[in-house]
Amino acid sequence: MTDRVTEYARLVVAGKSDYPVGKLHIAACRRHIEDLERQKTEGFPYYWDVEAADEILCFAETLTIAEGDEPKPVRLYGSQAFDLGCVFGWKKCSNGKRRFRRSYESMARQQGKTFRNGIKGTYISGFSGYRYGKLFCAATKKRQAKLAWEEMAKFIRIDPDLSELFKIKDYVAYIQSLETGCTIEALSREGGLDDGFRSIYCSVDEIHQHKDNKVYKALYNGTRKLPETLISMITTRGDNLNSFCKEMDDYAKKILRREATAEDFFVDIYCPDDGDDIKSEATWAKANPITCYDPEAWEVLRQDARTAFDMGGADLRDFITKSLNMWVRNADNQAFDPDAWKACASNRTIADIAASGRRRCTVGIDLSSGGDLTSIFLEFDAAGDEPIYLYSHSFIPAGRLQEHIETDVAPYDLWQEQGLLTATGSDTSFMTDYDYILGNLKELKERYSLEFSGIGIDPHNASALMQQLEEFGCPVVTIIQSARSLNDATVDSRNLVKSRLVEYDRRNELLTWSILNAAIVMNSFKEIKLDKKSGARTRRIDVGDAWIDAHALRLLSSTEERAAVTSTIDSALAEYLKTYGGINNR
């Protein structure tokens, strides 16, 4: 029996593929080959079942493509055979069930992602041997969720044999296998998708459009007791670098690079490599493994590229994301580069910093009104070759916690468990407890023997706290929240991140969430400050604001110190000249 999957993988790894391929796809192929060499070992209890892989490929090529001028049989390209065969061919030694319970596949638009998920769903529902299972096509919106469902319906309707085995109800987006009792439904978040679904297969479409991971988690959490399942995520990359999709994409890359171990997770990403020329057709091929084989479609891609490069702006951004499957930064002027920020992460905690003798820091406080987040921020002085260290902690009234989990679509409860957020008061508390927050700051100072060089605070709601803050024995300065006042601190903090001159605890997800939520707003003098992204009312930036307050105070203190030194030197020079200035004129 021919092993089409392995043959294709070996060609790609050997550099003998029909068209240029990217390093991440090569890594997916290499993963398969390396797994073959260690199958059925103590550390790798899986095996490669060529017959199982061939079965799904043969099934796929019995199907008919209904769309177009006339029906035509499915013929799989090498990359399609690889992705399908891998998912179904790898088995567990313990029970013979499929190894992969999750998959993430990313490539440019019009490369057959949804088409392949339609093949998987039709096969699993009618021919996998599982009876009375539930299959779902899921997305944020019903229209998107129906795309994979419609692929399955088209396969069934065009084939007389399949038509006898399935019953289709268009009006409710429902398909039932008459032989197995399995059902296929289209679900969406807007239609009430929630926890509790036990699905043997789920097609999760275009996850770059998902605001968070709730659709994925609702479906995946319901599969834990199933001996075999497949949550198949498909997407083209987008422009939101602070999103569930970007997080999943980063994790998928770690799996391919062997930086993370997830043996139940199949990953394949078709995209250009870092440094590739986006105007080169060889670069385009890496994201378009199917278009490569269609001369007419390739010419359309070529024309689209010319238009995009001529027009620039939004049209070019659209081409880069949808046609080249590359991440690009949001058009809303993101304040901090996500990759640069994440490169500043470390495993060191505030305890480690204090233990090293670094105890001097400036404090920033961003106060809330009406029970939102209040955040405190410590910016530790740099020491030698060590960068500035950043620490933050946030507070929220306990009565607001669940409300913010729902409105902000953020895991405040998880952050509370991780010690990044403190819910103050009881479940009926809805106002900010400033006494508790200042008590926490005092306890933090005493625990680590910290030396506060100053406290910078947003003057809004600060008047009642000024006297209490003065008890810390350091200057307390109100930081006006205008672009003019915050410009220098904002510019400098961005440059520090770009230059990798700051450091923070990588486990502080609330800090990262806030920093990457921030956009830049500019006044008529081209002075800037942090602001929420357009239309993102619940994407909080409170921790970032607290950092800017702390950093603004640091810059202000540095300026005053320089002014004091300059004044001292000038006075000494004047006194010297007064005393000795006439000597040379005698």
Look at residues 330, 341, 334, 340 and name the one whose alpha carbon lies nearest to residue 520.
334
The per-residue pLDDT for 569 is: 35
pLDDT in tens, 15-29: 999 899 999 999 999
Helices vs. strands in the chain: H and E counts, helices first: 21, 22
Per-residue confidence (pLDDT) for residue 566, from 0 to 100: 35
Residues 551-575, buried b or exposed e (16+ Cβ, 10 A)?
A: bbbbbbbeeeeeeeeeeeeeeeeee
Q: Is pLDDT at 14 greater than 90 in this prediction?
A: yes
- Whether 138 has a pLDDT exceeding 60, the answer reads yes
- pLDDT, greater one: 529 or 329: 529
**Model confidence at 408, in pLDDT bands (50, 70, 90)?**
low
More confident residue, 172 or 157: 157
pLDDT given at position 104: 94
Residue 366 has pLDDT above 50, yes or no: yes
Which is more confident, 456 or 466? Answer: 456
Question: Among 359-373, 398-412, 477-491, 512-526, which stretch is predicted with the lowest mean pLDDT?
Answer: 398-412
In angstroms, the CA 235 to CA 74 distance is 22
Cα 529 from Cα 519, distance rounded (Å): 8
Confidence (pTM) = 0.69
Work out the percent of the chain whose per-residue pLDDT is above 90.
50
Query: Does the pLDDT value for residue 571 go beyond 70?
Result: no
Q: Is the pLDDT of residue 576 over 60?
A: no
Tokens of 12: 């790609």
Q: Which of 2-16, 481-495, 557-571 has the lowest mean pLDDT?
A: 557-571
Sequential DSSP letters for 384-446: TTBPEEEEEEEEEEHHHHHHHHHHHTS-HHHHHHTTSEEEES-TT--S--HHHHHHHHHHHHH
pLDDT at 384: 84
Identify the bridge partners of residue 169 per DSSP, sorted by sequence position: 174
Smallest Cα–Cα separation from 198: which of 219, 176, 174?
219
Domains along the chain with CATH numbers: 4-323 (3.40.50.300), 338-566 (3.30.420.240)
Question: What's the full length of the chain, in residues?
Answer: 586
Among 27-41, 161-175, 520-534, name the one with the lowest average pLDDT.
520-534
Per-residue pLDDT, 524: 85
pLDDT number for residue 573:
41
